Structure 1
Amino acid sequence: MSEKKLVLKAIKGDEDAFLELIHSYEEALYRTAISYLKNEGDALEAVQEVTYRAYRSVKTVKEPAYFKTWLIRIMMNYCQDVIKKSKREVLEEKILCMQGVSEDFTFLEVEEALLNLSDYERELLHLKYFEDVKIKDIAIMWNTPEGTIKTRLHKALRAFRNHFEEKGEVKRV
């Protein structure tokens, strides 16, 4: 069955259709949660909470084609709320320990570069490059013209790259 038909059935109250949709997007939800919360336990809790919130409000989905975008947005909002409430540092010691003693600090450097961006820029890069959401869909989700999204994405990428250029790690021509 197509995704659109599943979404329409879920909107009408079909629990099996909703569960099938959640199972198909479970990995994307988890990746989004882990990228924000940096903790497996918190990320799993976030997936559970967002599943519940989505189930409660699935009838509010306006466009079935954007169900995944709607779901990811709920996750992003939830994660931001958790971070604000706990005021935790994004890079915890656990992440450093998980990396072990390694000369490859790419993960940490990317995380550090992302932390230097605004929340808006970080969300934009996350949607575009980690969740592979199209610019058109981001524009609809944020109720912003596509051209504005493209401009802001370009600026966010430039700021992201500048972080590495300042360290002398990347030379762009």
Structure 2
Amino acid sequence: MNDEKIVQRAIEGDDTAFLNLIQLYKIDLYKTGYSFLKNEEDVLEAIQEVTYRAYKNIRNVREASYFKTWLIRIMINYCNDQLKKKNRVVLGEEVLNFQGSADNYFAMEIQEAMLTLDDRSREILTLKYFHDLKIKDIADSMKRPEGTVKTWLNKALKSLREKLEEKGGKVNV
């Protein structure tokens, strides 16, 4: 059975279909949550809260094909709220176990730079580059024209590039 049919059944109140969807997208939720919160316990709590919020509001999904985007947006909004509450940058344990690899260092630099961006920029970059969503899908989920989303994406990339260059050298982002 394809995902859209499962989504439609979940919208109509089928709890088993909803649980199947959460199971299907749990890795995406985890990756998104971890990219923001950098702490496994916080991410697991976020997944629980997002699952609850999604279950409570599943009837608000207008287009079954955008369920994943809708679910990821709930996670992004929850994470942004948590970061605002903490009002600090959280670095995960991988920083403490840092081995000095250039790839690890660059990934860490990108993560730190992403956390300094505004919520909208972080959201657009996450949807585009961590979840491989198309501009059209991002625009639809944000209820904005594609041109506006492209502009925001370019500004977010420019901002990210500037943050990374501040930390040392040329960057191809």
Same fold, judged at TM 0.5 (above): yes
- CA deviations on 1:59-105 (whole Å, 9 max, x unpaired) are 1111111000110011111111111222232335x342132x41421
1:125 to partner: Cα distance: 0.5
- Which sections of structure 1, spanning at least 5 residues, go unmatched? none
Q: Secondary structure at the match of 1:88?
A: coil
SS at match of 1:71: helix
CA distance in 1, matches of 2:87, 2:107: 22
In structure 2, the residue matched to 1:96 is 95
The aligned counterpart of 2:142 is 142
Q: Which runs of 4+ in 1 moved over 4 A?
A: none
- One-letter identity of the residue aligned with 2:149: I
Identity %: 52
Matched, 1:110 2:110: yes
CA contact (8 A) 1:165 1:171 kept: no
Partner in structure 2 of residue 19 of structure 1: 19
Q: Which residue pairs with 1:159 in the alignment? A: 159
CA separation in 2, counterparts of 1:42 and 1:129? 23
The equivalent residue for 1:33 is 33
Q: CA distance change for structure 1 residues 87 and 95 in 2, over 3 Å: closer, same or farther?
A: farther
Is 1:42 the counterpart of 2:45? The answer is no
Q: Secondary structure at the match of 2:154?
A: helix
Q: In structure 1, what residue type is equivalent to 2:87?
A: K
Please name the residue that 2:83 is paired with.
83
Report the 3-state secondary structure (helix = DSSP H, G, I; strand = E; otherwise coil) of the residue aligned with 1:75.
helix
For residues 120-162 of structure 1, give each alpha carbon's deviation from its aligned partner in whole angstroms, at most 9, with x where no partner exists: 1111101100011211111111111101111211222122223
Query: What is the TM-score normalised by the length of structure 1?
Result: 0.90
* Deviates most, 72-81 or 155-164: 155-164
* RMSD (Å) for aligned C-alpha atoms: 1.8
Report deviation, 1:14.
0.6
Query: Conserved in 1, the CA contact under 8 Å of 2:36 and 2:115?
Result: no
Q: Distance in 1 between matches of 2:36 and 2:114?
A: 11
